[in-house]
Amino acid sequence: MKTYSTNQIKNIALLGNAGAGKTTLVEAMLFEGGVIDRRGGVEQKNTVSDFHQIEQENQTSMYSSVMYTEYNGKKINILDVPGADDFVGGTVSSLHVADTGVILVNAQHGVEVGTEIHTRWLEKFNKPAVVVVNKCDHDHANFEKAFDSIKESLGGNTVLAQFPVDAGPGFDSIVDIILFKLFKYPKEGGKPEISDIPESEMERAEELRNELIEKAAENDEALMELFFENDGLTEDEMRSGITAGVIARGMFPVFCMSAKKNMGVGRFMEFLTNVAPSANELAPAVTADGTEVKCDASGPASIFVFKTTVESHIGEINFFKVLSGTVKEGDDLTNNKTRNKERLSQIFAPQGKNREKVTSMVAGDIGCTVKMKNTKTNHTLTSANVSHVFGNIPFQEPKFRTAIRTLTEGDEEKLGEALNRIHQEDPTVNIEYSKEIRQIIISGQGEYHLNIVKWQLDNIYKVQTEFWAPKIPYRETITKFAQSDYRHKKQSGGSGQFGEVHMIIEPYTEGSEPRKMFKIEGKEHKMANRGVDTHKLSWGGTLEFVNCIVGGSIDGRFLPAILKGIMEKLDEGPLTGSYARDIRVYVYDGKMHAVDSNEISFMLAGRNAFSKAFKLAGPKIMEPVYEVEVLVPADYMGDVMSDLQGRRAIVQGMSSEKGFEKITVKVPLAEMNKYSTALSSLTSGRAMFSMKFDEYVQVPGEIQDELLKAYAAEQEDD
């Protein structure tokens, strides 16, 4: 394969709901470009894109795949992304490097929730988009209804570039508005016969052409002048206007096809090569510090790794986009995140599970390489004396969590290695060992997502595992002040242990100042604040330690030991063993012994005095609350709202958004277990949601009582 120049390269991401036909379209595009000699099929399990065993078994995409085809003297890099929201990581990483999004819409269903999610990501990345209504040959195809749903989703900038003469089982002809011709295909697809538009379709075609020309002219002042002067635009002028409109997201051209029968695919590829923007026509890439880097093949080399996979017989494969300069086989680059030197020993043009070796790639191209020492997803590699570091891919927060453990004792290390490798390939799978709840927690985008992780562990890594209910990371705090004291005394021959600590604790709030006076048992106690240490706790919240010792009742050298004892009790809260937070401690008196006092004595005295005071200070358990955003079709709104209310949700807002209802609520994490499964069941898979941590709030009294009883029972069992 030749080395293409930047303006000859088109990078597209195929988007859309599961079942829209993205993988089938890839096969047709590769066939039309001559890079494969026969088209595979999802049912036959022989497509270039869905090559993983689990994808073939389930007949659906679960991983993003990178392919290329050649057409019209251009190279089209294709990123085929999964349609299910559980595998949105592949969508986000692909859109990060794609230059144009191609949204596939099923002619039977129109815009579905998955399509809507993808268009929102497109908008977030500010990427150009074109739309294809696929499956126009299906028995239940309804092109007009599908187009209406596209306009509702994308807005007034949606414009027809084609329409089918007869969508449904008899579909074989397309009216092309740009070329103003009729494309009629053989019964089984292939090369079309191109002719003039028949009279029966002329009126509509002329109306749509005027609309298309007007929309194209809107995006270029010079074209607008030509449009008024000449009462129209030439074909070349129209193409120029469409390109400008697509780049500015001021225009979303809509095409139609049957990818399965290869009807309309070649013409769409011709449009992509002529009109879709190359990387150098878009805004420059921006580094993490805001520096713009032009997509220029003659500049210094810089590449960004957007995907990493692992193959047993090869090892790690790093997929990258050349953001500037030209990279050649054998180049030495610097990883600007690790500062390691890396050599591009080989460069490949990826083709699904296969790769074609190339000698070089220029700015704008997408490739892969192997045998790098310490380069992962989100790393930037550059030529010498270049310090670019590009920002990380904005992967979505997890929505589903579970605890995991091995079924075979001794497999814990194998499990850890396997999970780390899975995370490396899919950064939306997060792994955490929680010391607090003593569980390995894996989290992802949904139950289906994590079930695929388990399948990988069982079948690829040969580690037998089971999921079990994850514990909730509660927090403990106090609601009022309390006083306590504790004397630790131990004598067992020789020097003993002695330490006595008097303290007051109260709730800590950000920005508040330590008090100077407390009323204890009817008497005023003045605090001589001699020093304040503020400690931000690693699990969130604050401990403020106030030294109020006067008269030398406790030597200053024992204060760190008292603090250590308090910190130990914060690490294992007095109520349920959860982390404690947001507390101010005043140590104001105590006693010591000239011989028997030591650090261990005061550490234990401080620990026990704190525990005693904590239980007197109106202790409360706090639970993590998440902000949840649900996107649901209107006809399922009642069921979804009813379910959320049963999960102690507090509604924050409701609105309509492009044909869907958006509900924003705050929900305790304890109530979100398996929510993705429940939501899918309630809405027949047509609703989706996202969630992110918001805050810790106090649990209701009855739930706190249940938690205290459960913890007491657990302690008895131990």
CA dist., res. 349 & res. 440, Å (int): 38
CA dist., res. 571 & res. 326, Å (int): 53
My answer on whether 352 and 301 are in the same domain is yes
Distances 92 to 85, 86, 364, 419 between C-alpha atoms, Å? 11, 12, 18, 21
- Residue 595, pLDDT score: 86
Residue 388 falls within a domain, yes or no?
no
- Residue 522, pLDDT score: 79
At 654, which helix (H) or strand (E)? Answer: strand 650-657
Evaluate if residue 215 carries a pLDDT over 90. no
SS3 41: coil
Q: Give 258's DSSP letter.
A: B
Higher pLDDT, residue 226 or 670: 670
My answer on whether 148 and 183 are in the same domain is yes
Q: Which of 253, 280, 307 represents a domain boundary (last residue)?
A: 280
Residue whose token pair is 């070329």: 179
Please tell me the least confidently modeled range out of 225-229, 398-402, 663-667.
225-229
Evaluate if residue 499 carries a pLDDT over 70. yes
My answer on whether 60 and 20 are in the same domain is yes
Residue 524 falls within a domain, yes or no?
yes
Evaluate if residue 229 carries a pLDDT over 70. no
My answer on whether 33 and 52 are in the same domain is yes
CB 92 within 8 A of CB 393: yes
Residue 153: phi, psi to the nearest 5?
-80, -45
My answer on whether 142 and 30 are in the same domain is yes
Residue 709 falls within a domain, yes or no?
no
Q: Which of 280, 302, 320 represents a domain boundary (last residue)?
A: 280
Distances 140 to 167, 364, 473, 505 between C-alpha atoms, Å? 9, 40, 49, 70
- Residue 218, pLDDT score: 82
- Residue 56, pLDDT score: 86
Which CATH number covers residue 674? 3.30.70.240
Q: What range does the domain containing 408 cover?
A: 400-471
Average pLDDT over residues 596-623: 95
Q: Count Cβ atoms below 10 Å from residue 555 Cβ, excluding itself.
A: 12
CA dist., res. 549 & res. 508, Å (int): 20
Evaluate if residue 473 carries a pLDDT over 80. yes
Distances 66 to 25, 229, 353, 366, 604 between C-alpha atoms, Å? 14, 45, 9, 9, 61
Residue range 161-188, pLDDT digits in tens:
999 999 999 999 999 999 999 999 998 8
My answer on whether 626 and 609 are in the same domain is no
Nearest alpha-carbon partner for 46 in 35, 31, 56, 58: 56
Evaluate if residue 23 carries a pLDDT over 80. yes
CA dist., res. 445 & res. 85, Å (int): 7
Residue whose token pair is 């795949």: 65
Average pLDDT over residues 458-485: 94
Residue 114 falls within a domain, yes or no?
yes
My answer on whether 425 and 536 are in the same domain is no
Residue 2 falls within a domain, yes or no?
no
Average pLDDT over residues 502-527: 90
Q: Which amino acid is at 716?
A: E
Evaluate if residue 718 carries a pLDDT over 80. no
Which CATH number covers residue 217? 3.40.50.300
CA dist., res. 5 & res. 11, Å (int): 13
- Residue 716, pLDDT score: 75
Q: Which amino acid is at 281?
A: E
My answer on whether 626 and 608 are in the same domain is no
My answer on whether 90 and 231 are in the same domain is yes
My answer on whether 519 and 459 are in the same domain is no
3-state secondary structure 142-208: CHHHHHHHHHHHHCCCEEECEEECCCCCCCCEEEECCCCEEEECCCCCCCCEEECCCHHHHHHHHHH
- Residue 227, pLDDT score: 63
- Residue 114, pLDDT score: 86
Structure tokens at 549: 């010792």
- Residue 232, pLDDT score: 65
Evaluate if residue 574 carries a pLDDT over 90. no
Q: Which residues of 620-640 are buried (b: 16+ CB within 10 A; e: fewer)?
A: bbbbbbbebebbbbeebbeeb
Q: Which residues of 321-359 are buried (b: 16+ CB within 10 A; e: fewer)?
A: bbbbbbbebebebbbbbeeeebebebbbbbbbeebeebe
Residue 334 falls within a domain, yes or no?
yes
Evaluate if residue 234 carries a pLDDT over 80. no
Residue range 69-128, pLDDT digits in tens:
999 999 999 999 998 888 999 999 999 999 999 999 999 999 988 898 899 899 999 999
Which CATH number covers residue 353? 2.40.30.10
Residue 5 falls within a domain, yes or no?
no
Q: How far is CA 653 from the centre of its chain?
A: 23
**What is the number of helices (H) and of strands (E) in the chain?**
16, 40
Domain count, the chain: 5
Evaluate if residue 197 carries a pLDDT over 70. yes
Mean pLDDT for the chain? Answer: 92
Please tell me the least confidently modeled range out of 218-222, 370-374, 478-482, 589-593.
218-222
CA dist., res. 395 & res. 71, Å (int): 33
My answer on whether 119 and 223 are in the same domain is yes
Nearest alpha-carbon partner for 588 in 538, 638, 529, 632: 529
- Residue 213, pLDDT score: 86
Average pLDDT over residues 703-710: 92
- Residue 93, pLDDT score: 96
- Residue 460, pLDDT score: 92
- Residue 440, pLDDT score: 95
Residues whose CB is less than 8 angstroms from the CB of residue 451 and which lie 6 or more positions away in sequence, other chains included: none
Evaluate if residue 627 carries a pLDDT over 80. yes
Residue range 57-67, pLDDT digits in tens:
888 888 999 99
Higher pLDDT, residue 594 or 308: 308
Which CATH number covers residue 437? 3.30.70.870
Evaluate if residue 228 carries a pLDDT over 80. no
Radius of gyration of the chain (CA): 32
Evaluate if residue 312 carries a pLDDT over 80. no
Evaluate if residue 233 carries a pLDDT over 70. no
Residue 716 falls within a domain, yes or no?
no
My answer on whether 192 and 311 are in the same domain is no
Q: Which of 618, 637, 666 represents a domain boundary (last residue)?
A: 618
3-state secondary structure 568-602: HHHHCCCCCCCEECCEEEEEEEEECCCCCCCHHHH
Evaluate if residue 220 carries a pLDDT over 80. no
Residue range 403-442, pLDDT digits in tens:
999 999 889 999 999 999 999 999 999 999 888 888 999 9
